[in-house]
């Protein structure tokens, strides 16, 4: 992004906020089913990533501030469409089945870290997966150990622990011992001013009907009991600050 483009976007956001101070808290009633499950056509911004305008601007501010501490934040994953998430799902499902796993075990393995298509927070344009480009890059960048005390991204983790919330970003899948669902993801942050309302709207959807409607690979194993558990543990057992 050029300096001219950044100034234009910043000015646009400032004007919008001054005219309508609730811009940051989009009314969940305006969110459509397609937008919530990644089938909408949201207007997205970013260089090498895709985010809603407000999230994009907040990230740029955070990134600029982090550079003062020699932390260079890079987004490695942001908005994902339903199709993108479904491609990930199908690839992993077929891979695990090819190793001899049962469909049920394959599904359980996938949802340790990956979401069922149509249920990802990344469908909203409010989520970022981040690394530090100033560090020596490991072969697998998104691994919890990389963010631990001896990991290359530990300075990033320390900086985010102190500063991320002040820019609106909150860790989603924490390492609290009693938390269920997706495993600890020290790289995944959500922009709360927008994502909290997406989640409120999403909770009004019938998840059992959603997974049946989308004809997903392995979907015949999604019983009502499974989807109820998935909702409560994977989608809702997150950082309490985001509920």
Q: What phi and psi values does residue 111 have, to the nearest 5 degrees?
A: -80, 15
Give pTM, 2 decimals. Answer: 0.88
Confidence of residue 29 (pLDDT cuts 50, 70, 90): low
Query: What was the pLDDT predicted at 18?
Result: 36
Tokens 């409010």 correspond to 126
**Number of domains making up the chain:** 1
Which candidate, 120, 154, 77, places its Cα nearest to that of 234? 120
pLDDT for position 72: 98
CATH of the domain at 64: 3.30.1380.10
Q: What percent of the chain has pLDDT over 90?
A: 86
pLDDT digit string, tens, across residues 149-166: 999 999 999 999 999 999
Q: What is the dihedral of CA 230, 235, 236, 238, to 10 degrees?
A: 120
Where are the alpha helices (H) located in 102-206, listed in sequence order? 103-110, 154-163, 192-202
Q: Which domain holds residue 225?
A: 3-242
Q: Which of 35-39, 210-214, 232-236 has the lowest mean pLDDT?
A: 210-214
Helix (H, G, I), strand (E, B) or coil at 109: helix
Mean pLDDT calculated for residue range 111-127: 98
Rg, the chain, Cα only: 18
**pLDDT at 212 > cutoff 70:** yes
């Amino acid at each position: 992004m050029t300096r001219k483009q950044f100034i234009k976007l910043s000015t646009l956001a400032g004007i919008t906020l001054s005219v309508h101070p609730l811009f940051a808290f989009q009314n969940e009633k305006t969110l459509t089913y397609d937008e919530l499950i990644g089938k909408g056509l949201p207007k997205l911004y970013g260089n090498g990533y895709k985010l809603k305008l407000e999230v994009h601007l907040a990230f740029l501010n955070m990134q600029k501030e982090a550079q003062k501490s020699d932390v260079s934040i890079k987004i490695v994953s942001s908005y994902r469409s339903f199709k993108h998430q479904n491609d990930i799902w199908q690839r992993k499902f077929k891979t695990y089945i090819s190793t001899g796993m049962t469909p049920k075990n394959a599904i359980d393995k996938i949802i340790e870290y990956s979401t069922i298509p149509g249920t990802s927070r990344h469908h909203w344009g409010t989520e970022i997966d981040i690394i530090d480009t100033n560090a020596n890059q490991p072969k697998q960048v998104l691994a919890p150990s990389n963010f631990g005390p001896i990991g290359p991204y530990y300075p990033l983790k320390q900086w985010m622990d102190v500063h991320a919330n002040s820019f609106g970003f909150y860790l989603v899948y924490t390492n609290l011992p009693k938390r269920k669902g997706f495993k600890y993801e020290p790289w995944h942050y959500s922009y709360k001013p927008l994502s909290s309302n997406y989640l409120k709207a999403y909770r009004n959807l019938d998840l059992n009907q959603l997974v049946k409607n989308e004809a997903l690979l392995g979907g015949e194993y999604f019983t009502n009991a499974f989807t109820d558990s998935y909702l409560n543990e994977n989608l809702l057992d997150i950082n309490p600050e985001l509920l």
